Chain A
Amino acid sequence: AQSVSQHNHHVILSEAASLELGCNYSYGGTVNLFWYVQYPGQHLQLLLKYFSGDPLVKGIKGFEAEFIKSKFSFNLRKPSVQWSDTAEYFCAADSNDYKLSFGAGTTVTVRA
């Protein structure tokens, strides 16, 4: 079964700082990878996804993620965060069994 780990539980940073959130998955075969965001009081929304092809994927709101197969990683990045990026971020991966496994989530707080 797939397991997903997110390295940071809570990240606090100032506006315009760069953000990188770590994500590692365990399944060694072909995987689909996702980053979801949950803004305060809202439901989960897709930020970006990787199925195949270019390992650097771009998503909404200036986010990008890099798939590194050799490291089983799919880290999320944003060069310059805004106050509105305050949210909880979830990494998810499938493992060819019709289900997604989610990481525990990283809470990002951006100070104005």
Chain B
Amino acid sequence: NAGVTQTPKFRILKIGQSMTLQCTQDMNHNYMYWYRQDPGMGLKLIYYSVGAGITDKGEVPNGYNVSRSTTEDFPLRLELAAPSQTSVYFCASSYTPGQGFVNEQFFGPGTRLTVL
């Protein structure tokens, strides 16, 4: 199993450009998450998905969009990049049987994004 994979590893964008961060998991997990990590701030949840076709906003969704057309893939879209989106982005997945509780999350290696 490759686990959770993310591409690209690094990217520099100019203000106003768009890009998609790719995330794929091969563990047949139902839940997938996107976080951003900023120094001293921990991880903030951007969007999450409880299954194919179902997504919901997290704590910091502004400026981002997601889709979940398959169980495996959960891409994150930045439409108009801004310097405030400079961060490290982590995708994660988990198998959660329901009832609201979160099981262990498995993280990808991250994408370091700089917006200039």
Chain A residues engaging chain B, CB cutoff 8 angstroms:
4, 9, 30, 32, 34, 36, 42-46, 49, 51, 90, 94, 96-100, 102-105
Contact = CB atoms under 8 A, between A and B. Distances in A.
Interface string B90-116: 101000100111111101111000000
Interface in B32-81: 33, 35, 40-45, 48, 50, 58
A45 B106 CA distance: 7
Given A9-B40, A99-B48, A43 B102 contact: no
Majority SS at the chain A contact face = loop
Contact of A43 (B45, B48, B104, B107): B107
Contacts of A46: 104-105
Contacts of B101: 30, 32, 51, 94, 96, 98
A106 B101 CA distance: 25
Contacts, number: 59
Interface in B3-58: 31, 33, 35, 40-45, 48, 50, 58
B100 A100 contact: no
Q: Which 9 residue pairs are nearest across A and B when measured between Cβ atoms? A: A96-B100, A94-B102, A104-B42, A102-B43, A102-B42, A44-B107, A43-B107, A43-B109, A105-B42
A98 B40 contact: no
Given A98-B102, A99-B48, A42 B42 contact: no
